Structure 1
């Protein structure tokens, strides 16, 4: 990788990455699978090569980190970062990883997204819209080798417009209904995780804790919404013939509950019947 210094954490094996590189007049795309590595772009690199690109990186596998100025953080699969080649940065992977990096000219980023200085060093935690962006970027990576320059240009513009939508408006401008809708999607995807709660939700949605709680103020609150979603899924599975062979305990754990008495009491309060009675009624 030119313009940076890199070092593998394990000197006993050389850095051997599988990499797809697609260079067009509009962008450079790297789809990389490799071992743990640390990469630094120093002020000397910036002065020497004069590169002037903005890079959007999507983590597909493994845990990474990045730092640019006073921004950065630890990245998990699904997280997205933005780096500016015109400033020093550090990036790396704690373990074997897979990622996609799309680099575009500063002028293109400014035209289709916004001022690069406002985005450089930003970390976008995994959320519902990240999945959509990841699907688009994966598709672009797979198809770009066969594209014409004109087709690649259209695809890059589409990627940047989608990224701008992903970044969204400031949290205060998002309506409560829209935030609840996004929250509901993420809650449904995370019900299997017993540790998933309000803190994980506001971080995933990239909003403040107070903004999330305000969006659920008309109901019983965020924690209650997550609990009820778990119970609703359990009710659906206990009632479904497709899950007739699953034990109540299996369904309970699959919906994120770890205590049978807590699950049974909450289920009875919400539906007026015990899980076992519902299962008996439907068999």
Structure 2
């Protein structure tokens, strides 16, 4: 295995080639579980399963090209609550199709278009064998650039007759092909340009208005999550204060955060994720763990230690010493699997 050039953008290629045929789908499901729940008919699993995911971290963004077999995909409320992912994901399909139902309408998505996923919302889809390209954009970076609100989840933007959509499709394809040769400073500039181009494309494309009770409820949830993010480091942040900041009653707030295990559970999860990012970030290597805990809004060290171990299965000290926290089962083939992309997806700016 060659030593990775740390002056270049991080690059990971996950492949099942070294995995025994009978275990290939289970390993794929375990790995892609960082984003989606997947399933295929049992009779197809014994025949072996093909999947490859080629990922780069480009500044504050992540890009991945996925090539895999037909399967079912889902992000359930349980998955959303567990991973706390708060990104938009833009996909283009280079081969194959995706079928899904959204707001009572069945749709088929294929080539020459973009589809927008809001990873804070539930989704279910079915895909044929496919190759696609995914761009993950942290919500705090893209939302300030959008000129209109509205729910963009599962929005399809055709590139036919749409110059900005065509430009974004071409840009994503070119960016992925050039990413391996980029320096970290070049990636930072490319990241900013990609965010601006994506915002321009979304601003020029009509979004779902998100009106009605469901749309209003989601808009309120987004606002409450934003207020929590703004005040996350304050140890005195409480449900009552979140409700005041968000302009909703406490009863409504509790209803909104029920899928996340409650408001306090959501706040604790976001604080733990922030602490995790700081622990493995070399910029905070000299900062005491107790200071990191306090900076993330934990009132005392013992509460932080208990919560961290319960969430990640290890201590904060051990995490800092060995940040490869997606621990493996010790299978013989695990050493040949490059699963770093899972950690990158979790830890890009959020």
Q: TM-score, normalised to structure 1's length?
A: 0.53
TM alignment of 1:65-214, pairs within 5 A: 65-67=99-101, 73-93=107-127, 95-114=128-147, 117-128=150-161, 129=163, 130-169=165-204
Match of 1:8 among 33, 40, 44: 40
For the residues of structure 2 that align with 1:96 and 1:31, how far apart are their CA atoms?
14
Alpha-carbon shift at residue 121 of structure 1 (Å): 2.0
CA contact (8 A) 1:73 1:123 kept: no
2:64 to 6, 27, 30: 30
* 1:41-85, Cα deviation, whole Å (9 max, x unpaired): 100011111111110111111111245566772101112111111
- Map of 1:183 onto structure 2: none
| Structure 1 position 86, deviation (Å) | 1.1
How many residue pairs get matched?
170
The match for 2:11 is none
Give the TM-score taking structure 2 as reference length: 0.44
Q: Secondary structure at the match of 1:141?
A: helix
Deviations along 1:96-116, one digit per CA (max 9) or x if unpaired, are 211100011101111233567
Unaligned runs of 5+ in 2: 1-31, 207-350
Distance across 2 between alignment mates of 1:91 and 1:23:
26
User: Does structure 2 retain, via aligned residues, the 8 Å contact 1:113–1:163?
Assistant: no
Distance 1:122 1:45 in 2: 21
CA shift for structure 1 position 25: 4.6
Task: Report the alpha carbon displacement of residue 17 of structure 1 after superposing the two structures with TM.
Answer: 1.6
Structure having greater relative contact order (Cα 8 Å, sep ≥ 6): 2
Structure number with larger C-alpha Rg: 1
> What is the alpha-carbon distance in structure 2 between the residues aligned to residue 69 and residue 145 of structure 1?
39
CA distance in 2 between partners of 1:59 and 1:104 (Å): 18
Q: Give structure 1 stretches of 5+ with no counterpart.
A: 172-283
How far apart, CA to CA, are the structure 2 residues paired with 1:119 and 1:24? Answer: 23
Deviates more, 1:147-156 or 1:39-48: 147-156
RMSD of Structure 2 on Structure 1 (CA): 2.5
Whole-angstrom CA distance in 1 between matches of 2:115 and 2:145: 17
